[in-house]
Amino acid sequence: MPSAPPARSIGPALICLLMAAAAAGAARPPEATVAQVHAELLRGATSVTALQRRYVSRIAALDARGPTLRAVLEVNPEAAALAARLDAAPGPRGLLYGVPLLLKDNIDTADRMLTTAGSLALVHSRPARDAFVVSRLRASGALILGKTNLSEWANFRSKRSSSGWSGRGGQTRNPYALDRNPCGSSSGSAVAVAADLAVVAIGTETDGSIVCPASVNGLVGIKPTVGLVSRTGIIPISASQDTAGPLARTVADAAAVLSVIAGYDPDDPATLPLKDRPAIDYSKSLDRAALKGVRIGVLRQYAGFHEGVDAVFERSLGILRAQGAILIDPVEIPKHTTLEADEQTVLLYEFKDGINRYLAGRPAGPKTLADLIAFNEREQAREMPYFPQDLFLEAQAKGSLLEKEYTEAHERAKRAAGPEGIDAALAQDHLDVLIAPTAGPAATIDLVNGEHLLGGEITSAPAVAGYPHVTVPMGALHGLPLGLSFVGPAWSEARLIACAYAFEQAAQARQPPALRPSVP
C-alpha cells in the first residue's frame, strides 16, 4: 500500500488548550488545524499523548455530559496506546501525523472498536480488516480517536427518519442549537468537528450526507468523485453513488485529509482510473487568488426557498465577484422529471445487493438484509421506537442488478444527472464551476415526523452523476450556519478546492458554536 506524503507545516502556532480552565468556565480555546498540530509537535510544545488526553477530556465534557451532543459513539480504547506509539515512532512522519481524527461508524476497523452503522444488529460482529481508507489514515500517522454516531444505516432505513438518530447512539444534536437537527447521515462526524471533539473526521455520502451536515454545522465538506476514494470496508448503500470524504473546519484541513485517503484500491473497481495516476497533493490547490477569471454559473434554481438564505447567498456572490470571478447568472441544470424516482430505484436495488455482499463477509452476525429486517422486528422497542424500516422492506422486494427495471433506471439517472445535467450546464456557457446554497438552516429535531429541511436540492445531481461537491461556510441565519456549494465535473476536486479556499479566505464566514463544557 502506498505511503502518505510527508507532513508539512506552515509555521508555529499555539495548539488549542482544550480542557484547561474548564472548571473556571474559561472562554472556549482556539481550534487547532492540521498545520498547527504539526507545528506544535515539531517544536516539542505538545505531544500526541497530550493531544489524545485533551480531546478525550473534551469529548467527556461536551458529548457525554454538558450539552450531551451524542456525536461520539465510542472513544477508541486503544487511543492512549496509539498516541504513545506515535510519540515514540521515528521519522518520516505522514501528512496527518498526530492529528486527532474520528471515523463515521459505517467504516470498518479491525480493532477493539465496533462498526455497526448505528444498528444494534451488528454490536456482536466485528470486521476482519480495516477499511482501505482506515489503512491509509493509519499509514499517514493519524490518531484515530473513536467512532461517531450517524443516521442509522446511513439514513437508508426509513423515509421518515430523523437525521442523526441511531438505535445504538440515540439522537445527535446540532452544537449551534441543541434542539436542531445535524442533517445527513454523517451527522456525528460533523458535530464532533464543529464542537472541536477532533481536528477532522471522515464521513460518507450517497446523496447529501457529507455536504448537508457540513453546511448546517459550519464546516467544510468534500464529497469526492466516485472512485477517488475506495469504498472497500465501508458499509454500503449504493455502488454507483457511495463515497467517503473529509469533514473539517478549514479547506486546508479537508484538502490534507483528501490527499491521504484518495488512491487506487484493486478491491474497488471504481478506483481503476487512479491505477497509473500519480498521487495528488490537494494542498497545492490552496491559492488565495484562485477565483480570478474563473467562470462560475449561479444556480438560482436551488435558491429562493428562504429570503434570509438568499441574502447571505447574495453577499457571497459579491465576495466572489470581488475576488475576480466571472459570474454567469442565472444558469440551470436541466431538470429530468424521472431523476428522483430513478435514483430511488437504483438505491433500493444496489442497497440490497451491496448489503448482502458486505454482511456475507463479516465473520459473525446477520448475513443478509432479510436477517436485518427480522432483527428489527424482534427489537422493535429499541430499534424502531420512532420510525419503521420501510426502505429495508422495499429493497428486500427488489431482484438482482440484472433486472430491466434497475438497468434502465440506472442508465437514465446517470445520463440525466451527468451528460444532460451538470455537463450540459457547464458546457452551455463554458463554465468552470457551478454554485448554489448547500441547504437551508438546520431544522428542528422531530423524531415523530422526521426531518423537514429547507433547500438541499443541489446535492442530488452531483450525487447521482458521481461528481465532486465541496461546501464551505458562507455565513449564518439567526446563528445557524449556511454553506456555499461548489460543483464541477468528474475529477475536478483540485479546482473546486481552489475556489472554495479562495472564497473561505476572503469571506472568513465560519464562527464556532458557543459550547460550555461541564466538569465532573
Mean pLDDT, the chain cut into blocks of 10 residues (520 residues total): 34 29 36 96 96 97 96 98 96 93 98 98 96 98 98 97 98 98 97 98 98 98 98 98 98 98 98 96 98 98 97 98 98 95 98 98 96 98 98 98 98 98 98 98 95 92 98 98 98 98 98 76
Task: State the residue range of the domain holding 326.
Answer: 24-338+410-507
On whether residue 401 sits in a domain, the answer given is no
The catalytic residue among 166, 189, 209, 238 is 209
Order of strands, edge to edge, in the sheet holding 100-104?
72-75, 143-148, 100-104, 200-205, 243-248, 220-223, 469-477, 480-487, 433-437, 295-298, 326-328
159 is annotated as an active-site residue? no
| pLDDT at residue 455 in the model | 92
215 is annotated as an active-site residue? no
Model's pTM, two decimal places? Answer: 0.94
On whether residue 349 sits in a domain, the answer given is no
Q: Which long-range contacts (CB under 8 A, 24 or more apart) does 119-122 make?
A: 119/152, 119/153, 119/166, 119/167, 119/168, 119/372, 119/383, 120/167, 120/168, 120/375, 120/379, 120/382, 120/383, 121/365, 121/366, 121/371, 121/372, 121/375, 121/376, 121/379, 121/383, 122/362, 122/365, 122/366
Separation between Cα atoms, residue 419 and residue 489, nearest integer Å: 10
Which set of grid coordinates corresponds to residue 223?
Answer: 464529497
400 is annotated as an active-site residue? no
H-helix or E-strand spanning residue 321: helix 307-322
Distant-in-sequence, close-in-space partners of 233: CB < 8 Å, separation ≥ 6: 107, 108, 127, 129, 130, 131, 132, 133, 134
DSSP one-letter string for 369-399: HHHHHHHHHHTHHHH-SS---HHHHHHHT--
On whether residue 55 sits in a domain, the answer given is yes
The catalytic residue among 119, 161, 166, 185 is 185
Separation between Cα atoms, residue 52 and residue 65, nearest integer Å: 18
On whether residue 233 sits in a domain, the answer given is yes
On whether residue 344 sits in a domain, the answer given is no
> How many C-beta neighbours within 10 Å does residue 88 have?
9
On whether residue 437 sits in a domain, the answer given is yes
Which set of grid coordinates corresponds to residue 179?
Answer: 434542539
Residue 136 has what DSSP assignment?
H
Q: How many domains does the chain have?
A: 1
Share of the chain above pLDDT 70, in %: 93
| pLDDT at residue 18 in the model | 29
On whether residue 366 sits in a domain, the answer given is no
On whether residue 72 sits in a domain, the answer given is yes
Separation between Cα atoms, residue 152 and residue 19, nearest integer Å: 31
Q: What is the CATH number of the domain that holds 129?
A: 3.90.1300.10
| pLDDT at residue 248 in the model | 98
Establish whether the linkage from the previous residue to 213 is cis, with ω within 30° of 0: no
| pLDDT at residue 496 in the model | 98
Q: What is the pLDDT of residues 473-486, one digit of tens each?
A: 999 999 999 999 99
Separation between Cα atoms, residue 510 and residue 474, nearest integer Å: 7
